Structure 1
């Protein structure tokens, strides 16, 4: 019995010394390997993967590329985006949109002046139709002498004609078209940019009156611009709808100003320069 126990202890000691020898060899082997930080190791693996994908077909590359992106890189808050999360970038949207509100009023004035060019001509044509029956009275009646004073209708026609000439010199049609194009381009760009900047700063959007009114204003800009071809063909319904869209746009703009001011106060509260 004693001999059996002694044999068991000898075998156990041999196994223990063998395991210690393996652990020592493994530690020596790992100590000889160059130590690399986890980030460098991940970068090295990503570079190897990209080199392998370069030799593959384009559809395979397009399908597999999103799986190699780190989800943490998409986080919008925490300072990763630097100046894009700062107060300077956050204040660009209210400054630009405030300027576009004033520019909207200016574009509306130009459009109204161009409308007057057309409506005054219609008034002149109507007055001329009224003037012809008055002149075509009794043939035996003496014709008015050239030196006689013009009739009230003739005076009104002359006045409207001069007014229309001055309006035509103002080139309101081209100026209104250019103003509308600038308003559409910068307006849509900054309307989307405002939402993107909010995401940069907070990592999310805030559904509410300001966001929904801004989206409606953007849609009305596009809808008003879409009516231009029909307006150029003389459609009075398209012209009236164009005016209605822009009036609604201005009203939404005015209604949106208080909520925009509240957001500016929050920007100063929760952001820092720059």
Structure 2
């Protein structure tokens, strides 16, 4: 496997973490629309926080699945096997939680408060796990860099 391909997954995952944080911001702004005065609401609605949050959620779902598959594939190509450890298990948990939160979409569109609370809770857990995983991934990337610069 070409050396540069080792870094597609980590770069994609850092971009994905940024998109998740931005999506959280959009979701927060969308939730504020329900709590502000009619004048403020009139100014905020054209900014389309809710629709942009939902659209970005679909992109996040797709990139999460592609990134996870890419990370698994790259690991198998490089090592001939999966490396069982916290990074892998946290990644699988993130994938499951992202799918679960995306499945709440229809209930969210119907305005169900339980779905909103669960959506926020699951995404908070996703951010904690994914943020931790991003930092553990730095150690993995460092190992790849050290192995790639070691004399043959």
Common fold, TM-score beyond 0.5? yes
Give the alignment partner of residue 258 of structure 1, picking from 122, 135, 142.
135
How far has the Cα of 1:232 moved from its partner? 1.4
Q: Is the 8 A contact 1:86 1:201 kept in 2?
A: no
Cα separation, 2, equivalents of 1:187 and 1:119: 32
Cα separation, 2, equivalents of 1:250 and 1:170: 25
Aligned length in residues:
149
User: Residues 250-270 of structure 1: CA distance to partner in whole angstroms, max 9, x if unpaired?
Assistant: 111121122100100111123
Q: Which stretch of structure 1 is more off in the superposition, 227-236 or 88-97?
A: 227-236
Q: Partner of 1:219: helix, strand, or coil?
A: helix
Match of 1:162 in 2: 39
Match of 1:76 in 2: none
1:244 aligns with 2:118: no
Runs of 4+ residues over 4 Å off in structure 1: none
Q: Is the 8 A contact 1:93 1:194 kept in 2?
A: yes
Cα separation, 1, equivalents of 2:58 and 2:41: 25
Q: Which has the larger radius of gyration?
A: 1
1:211 aligns with 2:88: yes
Match of 1:101 in 2: 17
Match of 2:33 in 1: 117
Q: Is the 8 A contact 1:86 1:271 kept in 2?
A: no
Matches within 5 A, 1:163-182: 163-182=40-59
1:222 aligns with 2:138: no
Q: Partner of 1:234: helix, strand, or coil?
A: coil
How far has the Cα of 1:230 moved from its partner? 1.1
Q: Is the 8 A contact 1:114 1:173 kept in 2?
A: yes
Q: Structure 2 unaligned runs (5+)?
A: none
Q: Which has the higher helix share?
A: 2
TM-score by length of 2: 0.93
Cα separation, 2, equivalents of 1:203 and 1:271: 17
Matches within 5 A, 1:3-14: none
User: Residues 239-258 of structure 1: CA distance to partner in whole angstroms, max 9, x if unpaired?
Assistant: 10001010110111121122
How far has the Cα of 1:165 moved from its partner? 1.4
Q: Partner of 1:206: helix, strand, or coil?
A: coil
Q: Is the 8 A contact 2:75 2:81 kept in 1?
A: yes
TM-score by length of 1: 0.53
Q: Structure 1 unaligned runs (5+)?
A: 1-84, 121-159
Q: Is the 8 A contact 1:198 1:205 kept in 2?
A: yes
Q: Is the 8 A contact 1:184 1:222 kept in 2?
A: yes
